[in-house]
Amino acid sequence: MPKKIRLGILGGGGDSLIGIVHRIASFMNDNYSIVGGVFNPDPAISIEFAKEIDIPTNRIYATVEELVAKENALPGEERMQVISVLTPNFLHFPMAKALLEGGFNVICEKPMTTTYEEAKILADLQQKSGAVFALTHTYTGYPMVRQMREMIRAGAIGAVHKVDAQYYQGWINPLIHDEKSRKATWRLDPAKSGISCCIGDIGVHAFNLLEYTCGLEVRELLSDFNFLYDDNVMDVDGTVLVRMDKHVKGVIRASQIATAEENNISIAVYGRKGGLKWEQENPNYLYLLEEGKPLQVLKPGHAYNSDMAKDATKLPPGHPEGIFDAMANIYLGVAKAIRGEKIHQGEYPTVRDGVRGMNFIEATVESNQKGNVWVTLNHD
Amino acid sequence: MPKKIRLGILGGGGDSLIGIVHRIASFMNDNYSIVGGVFNPDPAISIEFAKEIDIPTNRIYATVEELVAKENALPGEERMQVISVLTPNFLHFPMAKALLEGGFNVICEKPMTTTYEEAKILADLQQKSGAVFALTHTYTGYPMVRQMREMIRAGAIGAVHKVDAQYYQGWINPLIHDEKSRKATWRLDPAKSGISCCIGDIGVHAFNLLEYTCGLEVRELLSDFNFLYDDNVMDVDGTVLVRMDKHVKGVIRASQIATAEENNISIAVYGRKGGLKWEQENPNYLYLLEEGKPLQVLKPGHAYNSDMAKDATKLPPGHPEGIFDAMANIYLGVAKAIRGEKIHQGEYPTVRDGVRGMNFIEATVESNQKGNVWVTLNHD
Amino acid sequence: MPKKIRLGILGGGGDSLIGIVHRIASFMNDNYSIVGGVFNPDPAISIEFAKEIDIPTNRIYATVEELVAKENALPGEERMQVISVLTPNFLHFPMAKALLEGGFNVICEKPMTTTYEEAKILADLQQKSGAVFALTHTYTGYPMVRQMREMIRAGAIGAVHKVDAQYYQGWINPLIHDEKSRKATWRLDPAKSGISCCIGDIGVHAFNLLEYTCGLEVRELLSDFNFLYDDNVMDVDGTVLVRMDKHVKGVIRASQIATAEENNISIAVYGRKGGLKWEQENPNYLYLLEEGKPLQVLKPGHAYNSDMAKDATKLPPGHPEGIFDAMANIYLGVAKAIRGEKIHQGEYPTVRDGVRGMNFIEATVESNQKGNVWVTLNHD
Amino acid sequence: MPKKIRLGILGGGGDSLIGIVHRIASFMNDNYSIVGGVFNPDPAISIEFAKEIDIPTNRIYATVEELVAKENALPGEERMQVISVLTPNFLHFPMAKALLEGGFNVICEKPMTTTYEEAKILADLQQKSGAVFALTHTYTGYPMVRQMREMIRAGAIGAVHKVDAQYYQGWINPLIHDEKSRKATWRLDPAKSGISCCIGDIGVHAFNLLEYTCGLEVRELLSDFNFLYDDNVMDVDGTVLVRMDKHVKGVIRASQIATAEENNISIAVYGRKGGLKWEQENPNYLYLLEEGKPLQVLKPGHAYNSDMAKDATKLPPGHPEGIFDAMANIYLGVAKAIRGEKIHQGEYPTVRDGVRGMNFIEATVESNQKGNVWVTLNHD
């Protein structure tokens, strides 16, 4: 087995939840060593954090620019091989850009950028450099999501003709109904949060799962947002009618006012021969519906799964793996790609997923603003 | 306890499934005696069937007109008190009309009529005569649907702000993809089946459940149909964006190409304080979601339920009741109404539910035909 | 279709729950007409009840002896063809005995008798007369229980090697912990309730389901009862180790102190090739486990089911049927048997099931009393 | 935050599954650095593995004795603070003994020893040295198992009166029925696997969960094993009647021939006021049953949980954590204990759990051998 990959991290210090998720994901398959980064804009805090997580402090930098310069000055066999970008959303673009321009591989948290235009810039840079660029649409890392994709590709349900994806949460409910709270929340402030709240934060995950599992792209959409209050300009709920390749129709439903829902993502895809359904809160079940046959429930760790699903499981059947494991599977795909090993198509989400996501978000905003009309997505 | 109510039946003879459902529903609470009717257009067959189900043959009539005339000639204490209309869809309107004009109470199968205009005519007739008129939207008979309605009315989840109703089936899938079959199916022939297939047959149930449980009405809608093939003019799938009273937004999703789905109806209603969810294929569970509390699962037969839900259960908790029991609860409400007993609001669906349903169906067709635009419903 | 079968009923008047269940069951498939009986020891009350449920009063009798005498005096084509015994438990035996001796077919509520000796007397009488005798072990009427039986018979899971049946309720919990209540409850008084409470009332159902589905008999058992209090002599909980034919081992678990459980019956049978599991509170699912294959969930109404399971369903898939339908399926089997039609083996539980059940109950009491030793069952 | 704890590992090299589980568990909360150990009896392989997982090779030792000697020669601030024992089962005892005698804290894989006598020796050593000693009964690390324990301790279900624990797997089924395979499997060879297969490997987990959640101890038991074949001397299935403190009765059921079951552990505990149920394959749900109330489903990450359950979750509600997280929670408890921080009672299983487990295993074997008689456990 090759030596561990040298990983740098931007952001994710202190008690950052996303920092924990990425560190665990990097450890899980023994593929990465964290060698440095910029954990905090304040170098002293950054160094303190490096000590806490027990890594050397000599490669803790003050800025991404310093990181790029100094790492590039190191010999190739010492240089960071990939850098994870876990900073606040508005910094994803400039940091990822600097890294790509500096010749580095990148793992970027979602959202990749704040605009579609920025996303296309990153895509261009990635294409020029040929760097590995992974966008952490974590849910694509679940083994049964991968199995769903592979079964659809293999024709298990025939030609797809109907899709339905849901992402329901309720967390914004207590904030939105209180005037002070809804004005104070950064999530509902477009200056801080971008042009969309609900679709931008979670609807895009449902969109991504749909394209990921079906292997089809959304061509047109019509969206209807709910703002609940006149003094609120950010969507807290949105339903999106979609038309995909090959005349497939469907709907994407997202909400942050589905009161007391936790993280209720589900996706259903129906084809001529059968249907497949998956739910994130019970991620280890994949439901296969076939006419005239018993309902089948597929689970991880079995030989009947596709290679990509099997590679995404570490233990025998019956030992539940969860969200950290999903993220770890994306890191595993990146590690393989960096080492030049053979990877499965779809083993990690790419810069193109980011471009499509930003296109989707902007199109839903446009459709809703224009009075719920059809808007066409590009095919970048 | 009063004597049994004298029930007549139009249609439902032979092996008719709907005939079985109504007979069982009428028997279940010992409230009705079937005394006659028109089981078949052919009087001989009708009489034969009467013998089979062991009822007297002297009140088997050739037509609804004969029934109305001869029953009205009987003394009041012998006359049929209510007639169930179970004939093919296009006959519901003329038969119900004749019965209302003849002064009879009516239990009418769904769809109540083939047009919104007809529906309004029945509503006018019912209002004039003051007859009991029940439309058998069976799913409203489930105890936990009734509990959901009563809890929302009592404020258990606060002001409703988001709704989502689904009715997914897959039965038309094998027919629609075969050119011969899709041309031969009466369901896809507007002359026989009316202006809508999927929304008319099942979408309207989801619509009804939404208005029934929320106590709110849909004011505007925007629909998107799927016909799958250019040579098919009837919807086999439709998604409908809805705006209800009090600025509530939501979505109704119906499909007959959700391959291998059986009768997958679900309804979710979210309010400021909580959410309620119900699924038809497991009808004895009602899910209550409240922020910061464990998920609660309510079941029939418990003292914590509302009176209307309690009255809709015959056995102690843990003894599953099903679809026949749901229909029987509607018959029970009708029996109480005929006897002039106190009934719960919503104990049976009325002619007004039929009017609204037909308005809904026609509006979805109009919205789709005009290019997915908003269409306003009336408030009859 | 032949004319309806003439049914008499003993007991089950007033608001009797079991009376409702049997009346509904008899109506459900249009096979029976209730023509008379003894609804109450007081003939006046009995006649009043006959009026309420709208049946003629001329065949309401004062006693079972009068019924036997007068019905036998009627011409064959008018005489009751079968009588349901729904009286208090201690009357089942004398009444069933009188009916068998009078030459009648019998449907008998559970428990069939209060002792094993009595049970064998009924079995002898039934064998002599050749009468149809059905014991209403209701749960065997569920379509998916029947499917489980048929699949095991057909070898779907190979030779059975391990069984586990559970019947957990919690209803006695609030009574047992209160000294006054536990002394006042007739269920805990052996004079009224027989030698066993928990095993006698519900454990025997689990035992019956095990023998029914496996097609194997329990040969030996070792039981451990829980009485909870020294002043209580009746079991409120019991675990029974069983050894069946062909060296199959397993366990039967029953409890009335499984606090807040409703009617939680489950049965799991494992064979060399696979396993089958069923749960009463979700009776329309049958789980098939096979090594190296996805879990399969079978449901009623599908062509893949056995004939006996298919005959036990009235509606297409997705329309839940429940406990009344289960009982109705037993009545359906009896109707076929009375008419001399071909029936499936196992379409209704027989007097032999009653004999075995009483043997089981007495053996568990003996095993527990003797200090949890193995006790052998007979093979009558 | 203090610096990371220096961890050594015995065994777990190469593709060892248990090695992966422990490494991930040690990383997950940023508490440990692996500094050396004995990954393999062959030092060259051991060093190769150290390189693979990117740790220094200077503290890779040939034997546990060498480790003890050389680590003790290091200054206190460099010395290993805890050593995980992941070697084959028969080595757990001698290695753990050597470590305790050498003054080290120990994390020991299950089974702790091969006999009850050995277990008591370790317990004595641990008591003398005062070392932290954790036995990795992984399932106690799940947040909802901890919540179950804490609720029972807090009286949420009142005094416990009935327990039922199950551990069903099917993996041995294809081996046991083939004569060659069953003779070749080390699991069925007492020389390699100890005196019990099914109870020793998995039944003891169910036993441990019972004592852990209830806070009660098993005092007496009666077991019935199934060997299936005369030429097999190791149990592949066993049912154990138990009598716990305070007259609580119950049953432990374990099987390796529950065909096609994966890792189906469930535990149900009923008290005077309510019941609690948990299932390992859906570990993030805890079911609370209370008389006259809706069923409640508790989930991780909520404020309503106990502190110990809250400390065992890293993410907000709705993000499933799994088996690695459970193990990581045990490592977290050990880290706190080593640092002398305040820990919750039950935050990691101790040497005493190992003593009780071995007592349980030997008692079940004795009970079965003597003909299913009651055997008393000690109260060490």
Low-confidence ranges of chain B (pLDDT < 50): 1
Sign of CA dihedral A196, A198, A201, A206: negative
Helix and strand totals (H; E) in chain A: 14, 14
Asked if D30's CB is within 8 angstroms of A27's CB, the reply is no
Kindly report, residue by residue over D314-334, the tens digit of the pLDDT: 999 999 999 999 999 999 999
Span(s) in chain C for CATH 3.30.360.10: 140-369
Asked if B323's CB is within 8 angstroms of C319's CB, the reply is yes
pLDDT given for residue C283 in this prediction: 98
Please name the chains neighbouring B, where neighbouring means 3+ C-beta pairs under 8 angstroms: A, C, D
Asked if B274's CB is within 8 angstroms of A259's CB, the reply is yes
Question: Helix/strand/coil (H, E, C) string of chain B?
Answer: CCCCEEEEEEECCCCCHHHHHHHHHHHHCCCEEEEEEECCCCHHHHHHHHHHCCCCCCCECCCHHHHHHHHHHCCCCCCCCEEEEECCHHHHHHHHHHHHHCCCEEEECCCCCCCHHHHHHHHHHHHHHCCCEEECCHHHHCHHHHHHHHHHHCCCCCCEEEEEEEEECCCCHHHHCCHHHHHHCHHHCHHHHCCCCHHHHHHHHHHHHHHHHHCCCEEEEEEEEECCCCCCCCCCEEEEEEEEHHHCEEEEEEECCCCCCCCEEEEEEEECCEEEEEECCCCCCEEEEECCCCEEEECCCCCCCCHHHHCCCCCCCCCCCCHHHHHHHHHHHHHHHHHCCCCCCCCCCCHHHHHHHHHHHHHHHHHHHCCCCCEECCCC
Angle at D233 between CA D229 and CA D234, to 5 degrees: 100
Please, what is the average pLDDT of chain B?
96
Q: Tokens standing for A272?
A: 């001529």
Kindly report, residue by residue over A292-331, the tens digit of the pLDDT: 999 999 999 999 999 999 999 999 999 999 999 999 999 9
Span(s) in chain A for CATH 3.40.50.720: 5-131
Question: Architecture of domain A143-306+351-369 in CATH?
Answer: 2-Layer Sandwich (3.30)
Asked if D272's CB is within 8 angstroms of C173's CB, the reply is yes
The closest CB to that of B20, out of C1, C20, C314, belongs to C314
What pTM did the predictor assign? Answer: 0.97
Measured between beta carbons, the chain D residues lying within 8 angstroms of B276 are none
pLDDT level of residue A15 (50, 70, 90 thresholds): confident
pLDDT level of residue A2 (50, 70, 90 thresholds): low
Evaluate if residue C1 carries a pLDDT over 70. Answer: no
pLDDT given for residue C193 in this prediction: 85
pLDDT given for residue B1 in this prediction: 46
| Cβ neighbours, 10 Å, residue C186 | 9
**Collapsing DSSP states into helix, strand and coil, what is residue D44?**
helix
Write out the residues of chain A at the interface with chain D, using a CB-CB cutoff of 8 A: 1, 3-4, 17, 20-21, 23-24, 27-28, 30, 33, 51-54, 169, 261-264, 280-284, 299, 314-325
pLDDT level of residue C252 (50, 70, 90 thresholds): very high
Size of interface A-B (CB pairs under 8 A): 119
The CATH superfamily of D143-317+351-369 is: Dihydrodipicolinate Reductase; domain 2 (3.30.360.10)
Find the DSSP H helices in chain A. Answer: 17-28, 43-52, 64-73, 89-101, 116-129, 143-153, 173-176, 179-184, 190-193, 198, 204-214, 307-310, 323-339, 351-369
Evaluate if residue C255 carries a pLDDT over 90. Answer: yes
Kindly report, residue by residue over C93-146, the tens digit of the pLDDT: 999 999 999 999 999 999 999 999 999 999 999 999 999 999 999 999 999 999
Question: Architecture of domain C140-369 in CATH?
Answer: 2-Layer Sandwich (3.30)
| Cβ neighbours, 10 Å, residue C79 | 16
Percent of chain D's residues with pLDDT above 90: 96
How far is the CA of B236 from the CAs of B90, B250, B365, D183, in angstroms?
Answer: 20, 21, 12, 59
Evaluate if residue A76 carries a pLDDT over 80. Answer: yes
Measured between beta carbons, the chain A residues lying within 8 angstroms of B162 are 226, 237, 255, 257-259
The closest CB to that of D260, out of C224, C251, C290, belongs to C290
Write out the residues of chain B at the interface with chain D, using a CB-CB cutoff of 8 A: 288, 292-299, 302-304
Evaluate if residue A193 carries a pLDDT over 90. Answer: no
Using alpha carbons, select from A358, A316, A62, A93 the residue that is nearest to residue A201.
A358
Span(s) in chain D for CATH 3.30.360.10: 143-317+351-369
Please, what is the average pLDDT of chain A?
96
Evaluate if residue C360 carries a pLDDT over 90. Answer: yes
pLDDT given for residue B104 in this prediction: 98
Kindly report, residue by residue over A109-161, the tens digit of the pLDDT: 999 999 999 999 999 999 999 999 999 999 999 999 999 999 999 999 999 99
Was domain C5-131 assigned CATH 3.40.50.720?
A: yes
Q: What's the topology of domain B143-308+349-369?
A: Dihydrodipicolinate Reductase; domain 2 (3.30.360)
- What distance in Å separates the CA atoms of residue C70 and residue A12, rounded to the nearest whole number? 90
Residue of chain A minimizing CA distance to B292 = A260
Evaluate if residue C373 carries a pLDDT over 90. Answer: yes
Asked if B28's CB is within 8 angstroms of C318's CB, the reply is no
User: Best residue in B324, B325, B331, B339 to probe C by mutation, most C CBs within 10 Å?
Assistant: B324
Angle at D235 between CA D232 and CA D237, to 5 degrees: 125
Kindly report, residue by residue over C159-176, the tens digit of the pLDDT: 999 999 999 999 999 999
pLDDT given for residue C54 in this prediction: 87
pLDDT given for residue A1 in this prediction: 46
Using alpha carbons, select from A283, A301, A311, A309 the residue that is nearest to residue A29.
A311
Kindly report, residue by residue over B101-157, the tens digit of the pLDDT: 999 999 999 999 999 999 999 999 999 999 999 999 999 999 999 999 999 999 999
Measured between beta carbons, the chain D residues lying within 8 angstroms of C164 are 253, 258
Kindly report, residue by residue over C267-297, the tens digit of the pLDDT: 999 999 999 999 999 999 999 999 999 999 9
Low-confidence ranges of chain D (pLDDT < 50): 1
pLDDT given for residue B192 in this prediction: 86
